Amino acid sequence: MTHDVLLRGGTVVDGTGAARFTADVAIKDGRIADIGKITGTATRVIDATGLVVAPGVIDVHSHYDAQVCWDGPLLSSASHGTTTVIQGNCGIGVAPCRPRDRDISMMDLVVLEGISFECMKAGIGWEFETFPQYLDFLRKRGLGINLAAFVPLGPLRRYAIGDDANKRAATPEETAGIARALKEAMQAGAFGFSSTMTMRQTGYQGGKLPTQLADERELRAYAGVLRELGRGAMQVNVIESLSRPTDSELATLALLIEASGGRRVTYSGAFYRADDPEAIGKMLEKCEPMRQRGAIPQSTMMALTIELDFRSPMQLADVDAFKEILNRPTEEQKRLYANREWRARAKAGLTEGRKLFGTTWMNCIILRVQNPALRPLLNKTITQVAKERGGDPFDVMLDVALEDNLELKILGAMANNDHEKLGQHIKDPRIMLGLHDGGAHVDQLFQAGFPTYMLGHWVREEKVIELEHAIRRMTSEPADYFNFRDRGRVRAGHIADLMVFDPATVGSAQPPDQVLNDLPGGGRRLYATPHGMEYVMVNGQFVIDQGRPSGALPGSILDGG
């Protein structure tokens, strides 16, 4: 038999957690045809001696909704070993969208996901309006890797309700219309729906997001679409204070599971908190009954270290005063930052209660400045600079931002900043590895490279987790949870979504090691260079070939059916 590709003599780690073994892997017509000692011929034979042959990674939480409109290959993820991404998380996205709502939809993405308005304006061609049209556009444009798309509830509600979407609940008639639109989207290939209920997340100019106004009656109707179709999943942001779920928040998860007929729902987020070190353990105990019913929290495998931007301070938007800054002209922002009354309110809001940066902002370092006079401050903490200047740390931070015309970038850890605890969490089956936000916050962080970071840092360098276990966590576990059949394993008959890497060199930097200006309109993004990822195969075709992009677009849209 003549195969398309024969990977000869690689170390197979099959994704199940079973011990590695040496074998040939043959690929034919997009599937794994055989594993073992293979004597047949192949159009292409690759010597995989010394390399690991493993399933491609499934990234369960990305925000490529806008980026995929101009970037079909999605090399930010593919180059690190990811072969499937789930997008449309957190209830926001670009479809459905009427022409009159395009700017406001993009502004919501600016605030919540830190995607540049100018970049989206230049990159989204808007060749679609409804969600089925959006999926058709992506199919015609071509995808480098597989994509499963949640229908974000925010655009769905805005499409049906208009400007009142972020002001009130839907009427029964509107709810029925939204449910029909969701059903049509899923019949066209969508994967389920997503929503954000937490009020710490905000939209345009600090206003409410359309998802936050959906009441219990609405949620039952939308979850009921999944029950009717007998497939799909949900993703929600339901926990207001990270790792501190309330009974009412867990009741929302229970409602979604019940109304959907037992479909899976995943939610954010199980994070270690420096201000409450025991919170995550208590959360996992409290949420265990929900996990048994199919609801599982997500967390990252990296410290959630992010660049803070004073022109779009999304990470500080859980403070009411900072909501006033969002989507404002620069001169208006500068007047607010300089105002003593505003500063007093902002500082009180940041330091009172459990805010995301409430205990860490003063330890952030000065990362980037445009004003040459400020360069001596680079890599110093806010506290250090305040001591040098003899001022209050909060005032000094804002003074420096104003001196830099709000170009200042500071770097700090929001969560998961205890390395030992994080090493435990990446192995915990009660947590799904996700929330790496590919396509979002691109000028503030880059965590879409988590597969190479896991394999290089946690497996080889730290020896916190065995290679077989690490690969299972990133492949067969999410494949099984989301019902991506015939994926997530190196097994005869399965789809040939594979990564082939050198275990001695695989890895990537964190924080990222590159600053690129290659987005539409010259937009800036951060990127971590992958090392040791030699081949990535999607549906039997190479998208990364000898460490370089091949240009192939073999990806498909997965519906979890």
The whole-number pLDDT of residue 327 equals 82
Q: Is 146 in contact with 138 (CB distance < 8 Å)?
A: no
Residues in contact with 285: Cβ distance below 8 Å, sequence separation at least 6, in sequence order: none
The whole-number pLDDT of residue 467 equals 98
Its pTM stands at 0.89
User: Whole-angstrom Cα distance, residue 363 to residue 411?
Assistant: 9
Please give the CATH number for the structural domain made up of 57-303+416-459: 3.20.20.140
Q: Domain locations in the chain? A: 57-303+416-459, 306-411
Q: Kindly tell me the burial class for residue 224, based on how many C-beta atoms sit within 10 Å of its own C-beta (0-12, 13-18, 19 or more).
A: middle
Q: Helix, strand or coil for residue 242? A: coil
The whole-number pLDDT of residue 354 equals 65
Which helix (H) or strand (E) covers residue 304, if one does? strand 304-309
pLDDT tens across the length of the chain (561 residues): 799 999 999 999 999 999 999 999 999 999 999 999 998 889 999 999 999 999 999 999 999 999 999 999 999 999 999 999 999 999 999 999 999 999 989 988 887 777 888 999 999 999 999 999 999 999 999 999 999 999 999 999 999 999 999 999 999 999 999 999 999 999 999 999 999 998 777 777 667 889 999 999 999 999 999 999 999 999 999 998 888 899 999 999 999 999 999 999 999 889 888 778 899 999 999 999 999 999 999 999 988 777 788 988 877 877 889 889 988 899 999 999 999 999 999 998 887 766 667 667 888 889 889 999 999 999 899 999 999 999 999 999 999 999 999 999 888 777 787 889 899 999 999 999 998 999 988 877 899 999 999 999 999 999 999 999 999 999 999 999 999 999 999 999 999 999 999 999 999 998 889 989 999 988 889 899 999 999 999 999 999 999 999 999 999 999 977
Backbone dihedral region for residue 525 (phi beyond 0: left; psi -120 to 50: alpha; all else: beta): beta
